[in-house]
């Protein structure tokens, strides 16, 4: 059994990352790829490396042991957002099948790293199935919610359910909105970040009604992200322990609301590694073990 794998809020003991130093190589590669991947603008490699080093240092100071997956020529700029390539369960990892074609090689690229860490691969999403880790959230150890959208389809959800078997009691599937269309970077975790068993950061204007109702039924207090902080990744909040969390700087209203709810908040600069690729701290990390 992998300790705490079926949690989004337990004390983060070990986390998988992929550094842009290797994954992005340099400004020449960034210049070739960023437009096709729909980045807001071209990241600056040296600045991104510095931001990422500071992010890693923050995670380590907060108690997480960091493990790095290697880069490779088959992987693109998006590969630093390692959460999407795998889902963790107590019995092992499920390798995803990416809805974004440019990312199709990322799940299999994680397999050697997981093997080296003695983390078994429970299975793979294959065939017509599509599943990305940003659409998969543990509400508690036995309850999983999956967003059905452009990156995750019904076949992928069904395969995930079969692979997880009796490791969970309930899998709740919720429809995601069209929002800005199939080319946009939009996952379930774009609108939901658990911070404690009874506290979550949400963006209600785009939240499926059944999910919002389920959270309220469970007694979860909702920290509402204001519209002006949605695009600046105010809803993308990484819990490193219950009510202890990390978020991108530049979202003061959301931070203040979190702190009023009793959360301790740590910020990092993410102008290059987060804002331009629309991926926050949950996207940058694949927690492997939690307390």
Average pLDDT over residues 32-53: 97
Cβ-contact 216, 192 below 8 angstroms: no
The answer to whether residue 47 scores a pLDDT higher than 90 is yes
The tokens for 66 are 């960091």
In this structure, is residue 276 part of a structural domain?
Answer: yes
Cα–Cα distance measured from residue 202 to residue 225, given in angstroms and rounded to the nearest whole number? 6
Residue 139: alpha-carbon gap to chain centroid: 14
- For residue 35, what pLDDT is reported? 96
**How would DSSP label each residue in 225-239?**
PPGGGTTTTTT--EE
In this structure, is residue 33 part of a structural domain?
Answer: yes
The answer to whether residue 94 scores a pLDDT higher than 90 is yes
pLDDT digits (tens, 9 = 90+) for 181-206: 998 889 999 999 999 999 999 999 99
Average pLDDT over residues 72-92: 97
- For residue 1, what pLDDT is reported? 85
Average pLDDT over residues 104-114: 97
Which of the four pLDDT bands, split at 50, 70 and 90, describes residue 259?
very high
Cα–Cα distance measured from residue 237 to residue 254, given in angstroms and rounded to the nearest whole number? 10
- For residue 82, what pLDDT is reported? 98
- For residue 183, what pLDDT is reported? 87
In this structure, is residue 2 part of a structural domain?
Answer: no
The answer to whether residue 213 scores a pLDDT higher than 90 is yes
- The number of folded domains in the chain is 1
In this structure, is residue 6 part of a structural domain?
Answer: no
Which of the four pLDDT bands, split at 50, 70 and 90, describes residue 84?
very high
Task: Give the domain range for residue 236.
Answer: 12-290
CATH number (domain holding residue 182): 3.75.10.10
| Burial (Cβ within 10 Å: 0-12, 13-18, ≥19) of residue 225 | buried
Average pLDDT over residues 209-220: 97
- For residue 185, what pLDDT is reported? 86
- The residues near 241 (Cβ < 8 Å, ≥ 6 apart) are 9, 10, 11, 12, 62, 63, 291
Average pLDDT over residues 38-49: 97
In this structure, is residue 3 part of a structural domain?
Answer: no
Which of the four pLDDT bands, split at 50, 70 and 90, describes residue 101?
very high
In this structure, is residue 21 part of a structural domain?
Answer: yes
Phi, psi of 129 (to 5 degrees): -70, 140
On average, the pLDDT of the chain sits at 97
């Amino acid at each position: 059994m992998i300790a705490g794998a079926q949690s989004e809020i337990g004390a983060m003991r070990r986390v998988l990352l992929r550094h842009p130093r290797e994954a992005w190589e340099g400004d020449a590669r960034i210049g070739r790829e960023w437009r096709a991947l729909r980045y807001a603008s071209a990241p600056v490699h040296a600045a991104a490396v510095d931001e990422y080093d500071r992010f890693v240092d923050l995670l380590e100071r907060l108690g997480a042991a960091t493990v790095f997956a290697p880069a490779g020529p088959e992987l693109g700029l998006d590969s630093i957002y390692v959460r999407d390539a795998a889902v963790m369960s107590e019995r092992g990892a499920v390798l995803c099948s990416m809805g974004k074609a440019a990312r199709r090689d990322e799940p299999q690229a994680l397999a050697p790293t997981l093997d080296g860490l003695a983390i078994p691969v429970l299975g793979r999403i294959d065939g017509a199935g599509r599943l990305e880790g940003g659409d998969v959230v543990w509400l508690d150890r036995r309850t999983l919610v999956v967003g059905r959208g452009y990156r995750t389809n019904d076949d992928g959800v069904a395969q995930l359910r079969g692979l997880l078997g009796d490791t969970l009691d309930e899998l709740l599937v919720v429809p995601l909105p069209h929002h800005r269309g199939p080319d946009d970077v939009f996952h379930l975790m774009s609108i939901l970040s658990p911070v404690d068993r009874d506290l979550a950061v949400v963006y209600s204007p785009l939240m499926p009604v059944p999910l919002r109702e389920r959270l309220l039924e469970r007694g979860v207090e909702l920290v509402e992200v204001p519209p002006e902080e949605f695009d600046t990744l105010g809803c993308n909040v990484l819990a490193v322990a219950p009510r202890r969390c990390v978020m991108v700087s530049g979202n003061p209203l959301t931070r203040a609301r979190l702190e009023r709810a009793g959360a301790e908040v740590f910020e990092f600069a993410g102008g290059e590694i987060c804002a331009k690729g629309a991926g926050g701290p949950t996207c940058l990390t694949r927690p492997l073990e939690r307390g």
